Structure 1
Amino acid sequence: MDKMAKMNQATASRAKVKKASSHFALELNEITKLALPMVLIQLGQVAMTATDLAFIGRIGADSLAAAAVVIRLYFVGLTVGMGLLAAIAPIAAQAFVVDNLRVVRGSVRMGLWTTLPLSLPILVISLRSDQILLAFGQAPDIARLAQQYLFGLAWGVMPALWFTAIRTFMGAVNRPKPALWITLAAIPVNAFLVYLLVFGKFGVPRLELFGAGIATTIVNYGTFLAGVWITMMYRPFHGYHVLAHLWRFDWPLMRQLIVIGTPISIAGLMECGVSSALTLLMGVIGTRALVAHQIAFQVAAILFAIPCGISMAASVRVARAVSRNDGSGIKRAGLAAMLLGIVIVTMLTAVVIAARFYIAKLFLGESVDDADAIVALAAHLLLVGASAFIAATMYSIALGSLRGLKDTRVPLVFAGIAFWLIGVSLSYVLGLTGGLGGIGVWMGLSIGTTVYAALLILRFQLLASRFVLQSRYFPQGYNVVRPQRLNL
């Protein structure tokens, strides 16, 4: 009898493991299908920035260094708006599961409204950036060139944020592909406009850095208008009537958007501020270090686009599991997303390490002074930053999973500790006072990133485990929104 009981128990255990494996495989398949367009969208955005830098690098090392500074400052402001808009994903995804049209539509509308008060100060600061850069010890020539770039770039902040709101909505309702087609179409258009305006081809005056900024602004307006057209004209998006009656405010939803999104914005601002701080530290070390840093950072940005897209998919999948009161589904979504991101980025990191010298050469023209020294330093930075690429993948996906749980305040505290208290401090000590230069700066960055990843993973595991216990005791769960059927 004991032997029979043990056999039955073993059979039940195997069946349970097989069922769990089947559910995990299904979740991995679902998150891959959702994440792929989002990853490609992120890569498309990075590809446009990389195209700009590739053309600007042909002008000269000073122009490329100025572009490095501009991109960091520009994205500091842009990140604030994107953080608030990131709250659309969990709100709209949970409402989508229960077919609550009002909440889906209202979250997008309120997201569009929040961009207006944010865009104006970003624009004003961008137009006065030369004084800011001089105050932070940047060379006068670099500050002057950076200001030229921002004069063209700053006007595209608002349409860039508007398009972000639209593509976040598309992902939340499980239809991210139209945003992908828009982004893919924008890549060659951006390349042509940058080439045309930077070098003055086909009778157009040579505008150099100002032309690169204008090209990006034109593309931002184009992608936004294309997103609006698809949202209004094509199924299933037009059934949500997202842009109808835009003047009607939903104050509870606006409050929820701000409560969830503000910590995301501040955490993103801290993260982006770290990038800017490290760029400024590199500028203090020298122009050669600044250019090498920008090359390495651009490669890192390409790699980071992959976990960033997976993170968005994880946020949506976790939010849907929360709406179903599925505690095990929350854990599966986070784990499947983490596994997917780590496998992909680890393989790509190995490729980057192997081809680091060749990759660095792609960003510099033959006429650039000290090209060989810049390439060698950039290659060393890529080697030092390899561990940071893996850690950044882990923290990005864990962060997206926590956003699906609407947990954004504690990650904000973690960002302050890991990035500023540890990362920037070590970068300054190792890079400037320790005499390691750019290598030391990147060592500090790698350590801070690893600490942040560990803290976020532990936080997600804790909250997911709590939710599993809650779902066992309250299997019916609860909904804070009343369903409204949407027939599409």
Structure 2
Amino acid sequence: MTIKDHFSITFNLAFPVVLSQLGQVLVGVADSMMVGRLGAVPLAAASLGNSIFFVILMFGMGVSMGITPLVSIADGKGKHKRIGHLFQHGLWINIATAVLLTAVIVGLSQGLHFLDQPEEVVDLTIPYLFIITSSLLPFMIFQSFKQLAEGVSQTKQAMYVTVICNLVNVFLNWVLIYGNLGAPAMGLNGAGLATLISRVMMPVMMGFYVMKSARYSVFDLKLGIGKLRLLLLDKILKIGIPTGFQYIFEVSAFSAAAIMMGWIGVNALAAHQIAINLASVSYMMVSGLSTAGMIRVSNQIGRGDFKTMREAGMVVFGMTLVFMSITGLIFILMRSYLPTLYIDNEEVVALSASLLIIAGMFQLSDGIQVAGLGVLRGLEDVKFPTLITLVAYWVIGLPLGYFLAFQLDMAEKGIWYGLLLGLSVTAVVLFYRFYKLSNRMISANKPVVSV
């Protein structure tokens, strides 16, 4: 198989996933842009609420991804009955995860007043956080159907659902935030309610497609709990839970950065929200490439073709470098314009522009580490990458950011320079990890990593 063939297959898989993953973060982007018109305090409240919620959401998303590589390997081997069992077990894992994570957010919300954030920001954050937290259960059910579809290399359907529901979210934002079409002007809470409604629609639409499609009838999908097996639950969780922690260690580092920004002031927190919102767009887009890499790598393992598996993974790294180079240039060259899409406060715009320069610098590192996590997940290698993300962000990145910001008086820039280093360390280590393991598999002609 040529590089061109790899590129074509990966692109066709990745493009719908990119749009689907992008849709998840665009809900927060749309909320932030439209809430920003209300002022710096509501925008800062959205930043604080989304920082907490997004960490938990990404953990749930990571847990749900335990389904995909196992489905993809089974698909490569033609084991249709096993795919049905994996879906059933994954669905119940995701439902239980949603209930648990909802309880976690409710508990965390009680401590917001102790984070030394501006009181007016906290007062707006708590009700907004409760509303968007209600969307966790429907989101995790949607993820069950989405990860099943991606595991059998059907990536377009989730894209269609996500795009439609995001358009609904934007329309409902316009209605509920500002009080259009005779609705009450709910402000920030209106944005939360719009998010909840759009996320309830997602599992209904995706579930209807999967359960009615002839493509999935061969898998004998069941929703009951009578035949759940601990061995299969354990297999999914051994991939899903470390993957969830990979997301948590990175995303929570940026959430911790948001808390440190709050110590500097409301404008710094609002600027951080704008910059991280924009950076999260490219992050989620490249995570689509990462997912495509995971699918391709795991599917080739199922087929026993380890040389093609390695080539597929390396092509994903190459595509990631090209894409993130472009986004990095966009952030740097348009740093003064992009923040104006969110807010017209001159000080916040100027602070955001300075952070976007750093965001442009860490695009390559961010992209490579996301791609690395994906292709290694395709190898079922999750424990070591999880440890690396913990060390890079929480042992290196955040402490350095705190030191630069508050000891060397670099303020908001210091926090982001620390994050830049954490991303760079992760990128280098994960790329080398895949290079080493894939070569070992080719030499042994068998999988050599087990979760």
Q: TM-score, normalised by structure 1?
A: 0.89
Q: Is residue 440 from structure 1 mapped to residue 414 from structure 2 by the alignment?
A: yes
- Tell me the residue number matched to 1:54: 33
Q: 1:342 aligns with which of 321, 324, 328?
A: 321
SS at match of 2:204: helix
Q: Structure 1 189/243 Cα, relative in aligned 2: closer, same or farther at 3 Å? A: farther
Q: Structure 1 246/235 Cα, relative in aligned 2: closer, same or farther at 3 Å? A: farther
- Tell me the residue number matched to 1:248: 227
Displacement, 1:244?
Answer: 4.5
- Tell me the residue number matched to 1:387: 361
Equivalent AA in structure 2 for residue 168 of structure 1: Q
Q: Structure 1 247/153 Cα, relative in aligned 2: closer, same or farther at 3 Å? A: farther
- Tell me the residue number matched to 1:73: 52
- How many equivalent residue pairs? 449
SS at match of 1:187: helix
Q: Is residue 101 from structure 1 mapped to residue 80 from structure 2 by the alignment?
A: yes
What root-mean-square deviation, in Å, do the aligned CA atoms of Structure 1 and Structure 2 show? 1.7
SS at match of 1:123: helix
Q: Is residue 398 from structure 1 mapped to residue 372 from structure 2 by the alignment?
A: yes
- Tell me the residue number matched to 2:255: 276
- Tell me the residue number matched to 1:28: 7
- Tell me the residue number matched to 1:139: 118
- Segment of structure 1 superposing worse, 120-129 or 213-222: 120-129
Q: TM-score, normalised by structure 2?
A: 0.96
Deviation sequence 1:402-424 (CA, Å, 0-9, x none): 00000000001111111111101
SS at match of 2:214: coil
- Segment of structure 1 superposing worse, 111-120 or 224-233: 111-120
Q: Is residue 179 from structure 1 mapped to residue 158 from structure 2 by the alignment?
A: yes
Displacement, 1:130?
Answer: 4.4
- Does the Cα contact within 8 Å between 1:152 and 1:212 map onto a contact in 2? no
Residues 124-273 of structure 1 mapped to structure 2, 5 A cutoff: 124-245=103-224, 247-273=226-252
- Tell me the residue number matched to 1:15: none
Displacement, 1:152?
Answer: 1.5
- Does the Cα contact within 8 Å between 1:127 and 1:147 map onto a contact in 2? no
Equivalent AA in structure 1 for residue 270 of structure 2: V
Deviation sequence 1:367-401 (CA, Å, 0-9, x none): xxxx1111111011010222211111001011100
- Tell me the residue number matched to 2:432: 458
- Does the Cα contact within 8 Å between 1:306 and 1:345 map onto a contact in 2? no
Structure 2 residues without counterparts, runs of 5 or longer: none
Equivalent AA in structure 2 for residue 146 of structure 1: T
Q: Distance in 1 between matches of 2:85 and 2:46?
A: 37
Displacement, 1:186?
Answer: 1.1
Deviation sequence 1:303-356 (CA, Å, 0-9, x none): 112210000000010001111222211211111111111112211221221111
Equivalent AA in structure 1 for residue 175 of structure 2: L
Equivalent AA in structure 2 for residue 353 of structure 1: I
Q: Structure 1 345/293 Cα, relative in aligned 2: closer, same or farther at 3 Å? A: same
Deviation sequence 1:84-108 (CA, Å, 0-9, x none): 1111111000001111112211222
Q: Distance in 2 between matches of 1:68 and 1:195?
A: 19
Q: Is residue 417 from structure 1 mapped to residue 391 from structure 2 by the alignment?
A: yes
Q: Is residue 40 from structure 1 mapped to residue 19 from structure 2 by the alignment?
A: yes
Q: Distance in 2 between matches of 1:98 and 1:424?
A: 43
Structure 1 residues without counterparts, runs of 5 or longer: 1-21, 481-488
Equivalent AA in structure 2 for residue 425 of structure 1: P
- Tell me the residue number matched to 1:319: 298
